[in-house]
């Protein structure tokens, strides 16, 4: 929900080539993210831990200050709430796996004249 609001805000501003960080302004660990998904899906993920690769970072977060100032972006959705909604959608009749499996989501839009 937050990301869509940020995209709509940027489009409404007409910021065609302006860069906005849209995300959670709080750091979330991958382990916590996976844990919430496991809880919501009722499964245990098969995890394989490997050494960090060159370029990996220990901690990151989205600095949303510019987006906040320019488009009023203010993320409110927690990881728990967002993943809960995602899993509800994933399990709903609205989710169409054939689009993802067939690459429908990456096909270019037809031109409008």
pLDDT single digits (tens) 39-95? 999 999 999 999 999 999 888 888 999 999 999 999 999 999 999 999 998 888 887
CA distance 64 to 5: 13
Contact indicator for 27, 61 with CB cutoff of 8 Å: yes
11 versus 107: which is more confidently predicted? 11
**Cα-based torsion angle of the residue sequence 73, 77, 79, 85 in order, rounded to the nearest 10 degrees:** -130
Using the predicted structure, report yes or no on whether residue 113 has a pLDDT greater than 80. no
Domain presence at residue 106: no
Which burial class, exposed, middle or buried, applies to 46 when counting CB atoms under 10 A from its CB (0-12, 13-18, 19+)? exposed
Domain presence at residue 67: yes
User: What per-residue confidence (pLDDT) applies to 15?
Assistant: 83
User: What per-residue confidence (pLDDT) applies to 90?
Assistant: 86
Using the predicted structure, report yes or no on whether residue 111 has a pLDDT greater than 60. no
Domain presence at residue 26: yes
Domain presence at residue 112: no
In terms of residue numbers, what domain contains 16? Answer: 2-46+58-87
Domain presence at residue 99: no
Using the predicted structure, report yes or no on whether residue 24 has a pLDDT greater than 80. yes
Domain presence at residue 18: yes
Domain presence at residue 70: yes
Distance of CA 4 to the CA centre of its chain: 10
Considering its fold, how many domains does the chain have in total? 1
């Amino acid at each position: 929900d937050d990301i869509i609001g940020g995209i709509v805000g940027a489009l409404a501003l007409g910021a065609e080539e302006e860069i906005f960080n849209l995300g959670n302004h709080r750091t979330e660990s991958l382990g916590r993210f996976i844990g919430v998904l496991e809880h919501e899906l009722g499964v245990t993920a098969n995890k394989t831990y490997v050494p960090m690769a060159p370029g990996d970072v220990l901690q990151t977060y989205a600095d949303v200050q510019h987006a906040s100032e320019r488009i009023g972006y203010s993320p409110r959705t927690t990881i728990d709430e967002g993943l809960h909604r995602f899993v509800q959608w994933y399990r709903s009749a609205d989710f169409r796996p054939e689009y993802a499996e067939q690459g429908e989501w990456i096909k270019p839009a037809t031109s409008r004249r």
